[in-house]
Amino acid sequence: MLRDCRKSLFAALQAYDREAPGYSAPVRQRVRPGGDAFGRPVYFGVRPSESHSTMSRFVYLHGFASGPASRKASFFQERLASRGVTLEIPDLAEGDFRHLTVTAQLRVIERLEQGHALALIGSSMGGYLAALYAAAHPAQVERMVLLAPAFNFYQRWAETLGPENLARWRQQGEIPVFHYSTGRPETIGYQLMDDARAYPAYPDAGQACLICHGTRDSVVPIGFSQHFVDTHPSARLVAFDSGHELTDVLEAIWETSANFLLGGAAQ
């Protein structure tokens, strides 16, 4: 049964790339590839004000089954360090991936905050967490850069796995998934889904927000980010001709996000 569940999960994750439910035809027509081989972006939504106050703390939130040493985390850490800014990159699982929950990851951010204003950079699930935290702490989060944020997290997983595989996961209590940080399968418990279902698909975060998303992303369709921007006037979507990882357009993302991130901070 465990072997069957593992195969079903991997097949379901692969189905993200093939089917991308939720990426509607109207959105596909509106969102064009974000440029040529140089990754020039196409802008959607409303540009936030260019005037920002000094940030006290910059934090990077990694994605699901990832970690502080991810390529995107290291990239932003190096670029910000060149501007004299320290980027903190916590391990959101705190060494316990098996018992990972959305709530526990939000507590990691809360412990880092300690009353400081935050500039959050979040990738995939980390982007979703950033928006959740910003919605719950509007006075503490001043701005966000979200990289292919995993909006609609619970519904997306449930839809992709299907009722049968989801029920099997619930019954068995855990399943193995590939963990990009360790480079091998790691076990994840069903408590992740039990906990995630209590959170909104699209957090009501009103802070200035820059979203970078690939037009060829079939893990988290760009339509999810477009929906967020359509309902949040302070958010802006920048589309790139890339997939979910965005690692092939990191320089273009930095060029797009650096001024937004730093604003009045040390440069």
Nearest to 144 by CA among 241, 267, 255, 61: 61
Amino acid at residue number 45 = G
Taking only the tens place, the pLDDT of each residue in 23-64 is 333 333 333 334 333 343 443 333 333 333 444 799 999 999
Q: pTM of the entire structure?
A: 0.81
Question: CA-CA distance, 134 to 124, in Å (whole number)?
Answer: 16
Taking only the tens place, the pLDDT of each residue in 224-246 is 999 999 999 999 999 999 999 99
Taking only the tens place, the pLDDT of each residue in 143-166 is 999 999 999 999 999 999 999 999
Give the tokens for residue 223. Answer: 């339509």
Point out the least confidently predicted range of 13-22, 117-126, 193-202.
Answer: 13-22
pLDDT higher for 254 or 7? 254
Q: How far is CA 133 from the centre of its chain?
A: 12
Q: Which residues of 80-118 are buried (b: 16+ CB within 10 A; e: fewer)?
A: beeeebebebbbbbeeebeebbbebbbebbeeebeeeeb
pLDDT at 78 over 90: yes
Calculated CA dihedral for residues 96, 185, 199, 152, nearest 10 degrees: 150
Report the pLDDT value the prediction gives residue 263, as an integer from 0 to 100.
79
- CB of 263 within 8 A of CB of 53? yes
Give domain 2-259's CATH superfamily: Alpha/Beta hydrolase fold, catalytic domain (3.40.50.1820)
Report the pLDDT value the prediction gives residue 221, as an integer from 0 to 100.
97
Report the pLDDT value the prediction gives residue 134, as an integer from 0 to 100.
98
SS3 91: coil
pLDDT at 4 over 60: no
Report the pLDDT value the prediction gives residue 265, as an integer from 0 to 100.
46
Amino acid at residue number 252 = A
Question: CA-CA distance, 257 to 59, in Å (whole number)?
Answer: 15
DSSP state of 249: G
pLDDT higher for 7 or 57? 57
